[in-house]
Amino acid sequence: MMNNYSRMLLLIWFSLISCFKTTTSKDSLRMSEYIRDGETLVSAGGSFEVGFFSPRASTRRYLGLWYRDASRNNTILWVANRERPLHNKSGVLIFKETGDLQLLSDTNNTIWSSNISSKALSNSVAQLLDSGNLVVKNVPDTKEGSFLWQSFDYPCDTYIPGMKFGRDLATGLDRSLSCWKSTEDPAVGEYSLRVDPRGYPQVMQMKGSVIISRIGSWNGIYFTGTPVEGMSILKRNFVLNSKEVYFEFEILDRSIFSILKTNPSGDAQVMTWTSQTTSRVEVSLTGGQYACGSYALCGSNSVCSMAADVATCDCVKGYTPKFPEKWYISDWSSGCSRKDALDCDDVVGFLKYSDMKLPDTSSSWYSETMNLEECQKLCLKNCSCTAYANLDIRNGGSGCLLWFGNLTDMMQFSKGGQDLYIKVPASELGNSHGNTNKKKIGIAVGVSIFGLATSIAITTIIRNPARILNRHKQRQEDINLPKFDFSLLAKATENFSSNNKLGEGGFGPVYKGKMIDGQEIAVKRLSKKSGQGSEEFKNEVMLIAKLQHRNLVKLLGYCIQGEEKILIYEYMPNKSLDYFVFGEVRRKLLDWPKRFNIISGIARGLLYLHRDSRLRVIHRDLKTSNILLDVDLNPKISDFGLARTFSCDQVEANTDRVAGTYGYMSPEYAVHGQFSLKSDVFSYGVIVLELVSGLKNREFSDPENNLNLLGHAWQLWTDERPLELLDEELKEGCIPTEVIRCIQVGLLCVQQRPENRPDMSSVILMLNGEKPLPMPKVPAFLY
């Protein structure tokens, strides 16, 4: 029975929601309107419905979206409160006057919210569209698709035609599918289906963080792992640019309903109904995962094929099993390796494998403009290139895909698939008939004199890099740095292996490499989506080459080859500052003397950039992840991709393209695009406060006052409790006056107005002096 307390809560609840107007619209809510459990929104065409439901035998309640037609078994398409179920039927969906959709419990707690950040107008509506998309939009909607929020951006376990399936590379929004935990629990389960944007984008099925199957990349007609051409009723679209990568499908025949659904057992199924039948057709997209569909079943450099539902693996020509004793008991996971190393001065050619699922493209290189002949020549020129194929197979084929190093997760279909050209020694070209029953192999191309000459040249570079680098130095009159060959860097990084990856910034990944003479290097491979052209890249190289200081990372060389733009730095064994200061265990290694040394070292490096170098340089992206630590934990400023130079009499500049990292950006730069030396000073101040506290500015929130780290530090300062900001790990062994001086310097650097912030020469004097410091004014970005 309901006790008095529960009755009182319900009375309060119903009195609260009685203040709102109930909806009179079938498909939408205006501001202050709501629906209770038992009421629904229905799209204008009658296909979709939003309301409350309980999955199967569960008594928990969820806000969901489903097909309204009973013939589709009320298939749930989207769930708002996946992780926070309601435990009774008193839930209410309200469209608040702020423009937020909110799901409230009987105690008026917010269970789920759309968290709209865009500006809503007083005439905004929340509407369920005929596409199955629940949206919040301003009325009238002046621009099609200009929604303030939409459920299509936050898919659950189901893809509905019209959704974007992929990633927004600018915001980081990942529109992936994740299965339910069970048929009775819509919380996020083990399995997911997502677009991997590395290399040439492809669709992966994951179990946690482990790849279990690969649907593959898009070749213009189908995914290479599922070579089934679509019906004429289906319109498909693949978009890849600097801002986003996604797949989009549209059903042209309105009498047909089709969705892609991931289930708790890990299978992904395409489910299709027609208006003429109540039954549905289900086709498994990942059902082959226990045979050739299982990711890298055959290891590397091997092809999987199916016969009578049994998988078998065969090494590609020119390769042999790494561990024959395992191979012959059908343990293929170790894969194959070359019989003989493929030296660059070997006579080489290509074998054509037909009806193939292309290898994993996460480390591939691609061009949309090259033809297949140009692709072949480029692969011949590069010693590390192992295979090539068309990017798009429509209209006879176009574009170029290149692979470097091992070829992983290949499969040969009985029909379908596409052609793949694998590089082999000439000795393998004349004997391609041994496996014709399993592989349709033919000679694609012999060796051209041009290819041979190029291979010899590349070998010369690998065998005698010092002589070649000296020759490059003489050729590069404008850039006084060695120019490295791409193949040399590919070899040094084990073909840019993920095992060698040190991290990834906004402009691309960084890999650890080891040169032939044993020298360790850091190789920054600029993303093709960075938007930086060859001339801009050369300007950056010239800029960094002219900067030499103990607190700046040293640039050793660069590479421009095709679309590849790479920087080679000295290797920093202790990675970046954020790796230490925000790590629960590693932060203990940074005692106060080390942190103070880092604070001082960064200041010296910035002073050099701002005043003492031959150029006046503004970094524009100073943050803890761009401060590298050498073997003795000395700081070195890195990543000059956004840096700008000033003339001696220039004070500030403007940009329409604000780029950097929120949390470290000064207010005048973030809001108005104005940057100056004082912009770097602001970023430095944030780093100082993070070093003192061990807290991230962007992630910290004071639970009592809802302040960020800057606001929290300011509150403690004004309350005369500055030492409470100090990291607990530093309580013993610190010098309190030195800590307080650093906090004060940090607050002076993050003041709202640029003219109030000190320059870096003053900062160094403040850190090392004993004179009283100015009192800081209120900082920017308190919340």
Do residues 752 and 645 share a domain? yes
3-state helix, strand, coil in the chain (%, to 5): 25, 30, 45
Residue 16 in any domain: the answer is: yes
Closest CA relative to residue 418, chosen from 289, 203, 227: 227
Residue 142 in any domain: the answer is: yes
Highest mean pLDDT among 332-341, 466-475, 698-707: 332-341
Angstrom distances, CA of residue 616 to CA of 60, 390, 544, 641, 667: 63, 47, 12, 15, 22
| Comparison of pLDDT for 29 and 782, the residue scoring more | 29
Sign of the CA dihedral with 723 first, then 729, 734, and 739 last: negative
Rounded (10°) angle between helices 372-381 and 449-463: 30
Least confident of 68-72, 75-79, 276-280, 550-554: 276-280
Do residues 546 and 621 share a domain? no
Instruction: Report H helices in 230-365.
Output: 324-327
Reply yes or no on whether the pLDDT at 249 is more than 80: yes
Contact 136, 96 (CB under 8 A): no
Indicate the helix (H) or strand (E) that contains 51.
strand 48-53
Angstrom distances, CA of residue 611 to CA of 369, 602, 616, 647: 45, 14, 6, 11
Highest mean pLDDT among 10-24, 34-48, 68-82, 267-281: 34-48
Q: Rounded to an integer, what distance in angstroms lies between the CA atom of residue 286 and that of residue 288? A: 5
Do residues 558 and 585 share a domain? no
Do residues 658 and 561 share a domain? no
Residue 695 in any domain: the answer is: yes
Reply yes or no on whether the pLDDT at 595 is more than 90: yes
Q: Could you tell me the pLDDT band of residue 118, with boundaries at 50, 70 and 90?
A: low
Residue 272 in any domain: the answer is: no
Environment class of 318 (CB within 10 Å of its CB; exposed 0-12, middle 13-18, buried 19+) = buried
> Domain ends where: 570, 595, 626?
570
Residue 176 in any domain: the answer is: no
Confidence (pLDDT) at 16 = 44
Do residues 377 and 432 share a domain? yes
Q: Which residues pair with 769 in a beta bridge?
A: none
The model's pLDDT over 331-389, given as tens digits with 9 standing for 90+, comes to 898 999 888 766 666 667 899 999 999 999 987 888 899 999 999 988 887 777 899 99
Reply yes or no on whether the pLDDT at 419 is more than 60: yes
Rounded (10°) angle between helices 592-607 and 760-768: 150
Confidence (pLDDT) at 722 = 93
Identity of the amino acid at 689: L
Do residues 483 and 418 share a domain? no
Catalytic option among 100, 106, 267, 621? 621
Reply yes or no on whether the pLDDT at 543 is more than 80: no
Indicate the helix (H) or strand (E) that contains 674.
strand 674-676
Confidence (pLDDT) at 233 = 57
Q: Which residues pair with 617 in a beta bridge?
A: 645
Closest CA relative to residue 295, chosen from 403, 211, 227, 223: 211
Residue 491 in any domain: the answer is: yes
Q: Could you tell me the pLDDT band of residue 467, with boundaries at 50, 70 and 90?
A: very low
Q: Rounded to an integer, what distance in angstroms lies between the CA atom of residue 455 and that of residue 460? A: 9
Q: Rounded to an integer, what distance in angstroms lies between the CA atom of residue 595 and that of residue 581? A: 9
Reply yes or no on whether the pLDDT at 664 is more than 80: yes
Confidence (pLDDT) at 537 = 74
Do residues 546 and 600 share a domain? no
Angle CA 55–42–103, to nearest 5: 55
Residue 225 token pair: 């792992």
Do residues 741 and 602 share a domain? yes
Confidence (pLDDT) at 783 = 54
Q: Rounded to an integer, what distance in angstroms lies between the CA atom of residue 38 and that of residue 36? A: 6
> Domain ends where: 422, 455, 488?
455
What distance lies between CA 389 and its chain's CA centroid?
Answer: 25
Q: Rounded to an integer, what distance in angstroms lies between the CA atom of residue 621 and that of residue 639? A: 8
| Comparison of pLDDT for 100 and 783, the residue scoring more | 100
Do residues 581 and 565 share a domain? no
Sign of the CA dihedral with 636 first, then 640, 643, and 649 last: positive
| Comparison of pLDDT for 103 and 631, the residue scoring more | 103
Classify the phi-psi angles of 377: left when phi > 0, otherwise alpha if psi is within -120 to 50, otherwise beta.
Answer: alpha
CA terminus-to-terminus distance, the chain: 45
Do residues 440 and 504 share a domain? no
The mean of the pLDDT values for the chain is 81
- Segment 176-190 shows an average pLDDT of 94
Q: Rounded to an integer, what distance in angstroms lies between the CA atom of residue 199 and that of residue 563? A: 13
Confidence (pLDDT) at 603 = 95
Do residues 23 and 146 share a domain? yes
Closest CA relative to residue 643, chosen from 655, 633, 634: 655
Confidence (pLDDT) at 782 = 59
Reply yes or no on whether the pLDDT at 682 is more than 80: yes
Phi, psi of 182, rounded to the nearest 5 degrees: -155, 175
Q: Rounded to an integer, what distance in angstroms lies between the CA atom of residue 752 and that of residue 668? A: 9
In three-state secondary structure terms, 181 is: strand
Q: Rounded to an integer, what distance in angstroms lies between the CA atom of residue 278 and that of residue 428? A: 56
Q: Could you tell me the pLDDT band of residue 236, with boundaries at 50, 70 and 90?
A: confident
Confidence (pLDDT) at 483 = 84
The model's pLDDT over 160-172, given as tens digits with 9 standing for 90+, comes to 999 999 998 878 8
Domain of residue 94: give its range. Answer: 4-154
The model's pLDDT over 557-580, given as tens digits with 9 standing for 90+, comes to 888 888 888 989 999 988 889 988
The model's pLDDT over 315-332, given as tens digits with 9 standing for 90+, comes to 999 899 988 888 877 889
Identity of the amino acid at 145: G
Confidence (pLDDT) at 74 = 64
Residue 610 in any domain: the answer is: yes
Least confident of 45-54, 342-351, 650-659, 750-759: 650-659
Domain count, the chain: 4
> Domain ends where: 97, 129, 154?
154
Where residue 602 sits, what CATH number does that domain have? Answer: 1.10.510.10
Least confident of 206-220, 467-481, 628-642: 467-481
Is 106 a residue of the active site? no
- Segment 647-669 shows an average pLDDT of 72
| Eight-state DSSP code of residue 294 | B
Confidence (pLDDT) at 11 = 44
Closest CA relative to residue 236, chosen from 223, 255, 225: 223
Confidence (pLDDT) at 390 = 96
Reply yes or no on whether the pLDDT at 307 is more than 70: yes
Q: Could you tell me the pLDDT band of residue 405, with boundaries at 50, 70 and 90?
A: confident
Q: Rounded to an integer, what distance in angstroms lies between the CA atom of residue 185 and that of residue 596? A: 50
* Pairing between β-strand 508-514 and β-strand 520-525 as defined by DSSP bridges: antiparallel
Residue 434 in any domain: the answer is: yes
Reply yes or no on whether the pLDDT at 531 is more than 60: no
| Percent residues over pLDDT 70 in the chain | 80
Where residue 520 sits, what CATH number does that domain have? Answer: 3.30.200.20
Confidence (pLDDT) at 81 = 95
Do residues 55 and 125 share a domain? yes
- Segment 55-80 shows an average pLDDT of 84
The model's pLDDT over 487-515, given as tens digits with 9 standing for 90+, comes to 889 999 999 998 898 877 667 788 999 98
Contact 648, 638 (CB under 8 A): no
Where residue 90 sits, what CATH number does that domain have? Answer: 2.90.10.10
- Segment 702-721 shows an average pLDDT of 83
Other Cβ atoms less than 10 A from the Cβ of 620: the count is: 23
The model's pLDDT over 618-656, given as tens digits with 9 standing for 90+, comes to 988 899 989 999 988 999 998 887 888 876 666 677 765
